[in-house]
């Protein structure tokens, strides 16, 4: 994938923490099951989060939190959001630990990547399905 100089490539990010309830009592797993691939999701930095000041919550199109970005990615995404880089995200698919979202930067619209064949079903988080076509970021 060739990306114009200075532009960040779109990438797929894991959403975790689906097994925990939201503070309002809503069920994250139930909300994930209501999400449709391609549906917009919102990324909300939580600088006052007691567990991690870099935490980024992922919220469905209906305003219900479905989880958080992983600790490995939330720092960089939180930094980009603080820098007012335009970040857009869409729901990609359900996973065993929560979900996957697709994120694009700098005014680009995220596009769902090609997935494994239909008979493969939902992606196993540890399986090598060729799902991760993303470039390695400079901070990795």
Taking the domains of the chain in order of start, what are their residue ranges? 11-107
Phi/psi of residue 100, nearest 5 degrees: -120, 140
Q: What is the pTM (predicted TM-score) of this model? A: 0.77
d(CA 28, CA 60): 10
pLDDT tens-digit profile of 30-80?
999 999 999 999 999 999 999 999 999 999 999 999 999 999 998 888 888
Looking at domain 11-107, its CATH class is: alpha beta
Contact 29, 19 (CB under 8 A): yes
Residues 6+ apart with CB under 8 A from 103: 10, 11, 12, 13, 43, 77, 87, 88, 89, 110
């Amino acid at each position: 994938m060739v990306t114009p100089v200075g532009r960040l490539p779109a990438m797929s990010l894991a959403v975790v923490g689906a097994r925990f309830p939201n503070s309002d009592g809503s069920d994250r797993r139930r909300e994930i099951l209501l999400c449709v691939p391609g549906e917009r999701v919102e990324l909300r930095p939580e600088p006052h989060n007691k567990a991690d000041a870099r935490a980024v919550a992922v919220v469905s199109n209906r305003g219900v939190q479905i989880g958080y970005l992983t600790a490995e990615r939330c720092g960089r995404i939180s930094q980009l959001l603080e820098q007012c880089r335009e970040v857009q995200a869409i729901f990609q698919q359900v996973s065993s630990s929560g979900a996957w979202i697709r994120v694009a930067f700098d005014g680009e619209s995220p596009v769902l990547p090609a997935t494994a064949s239909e008979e493969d079903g939902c992606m196993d988080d540890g399986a090598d399905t060729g799902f991760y076509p993303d470039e390695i970021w400079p901070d990795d």
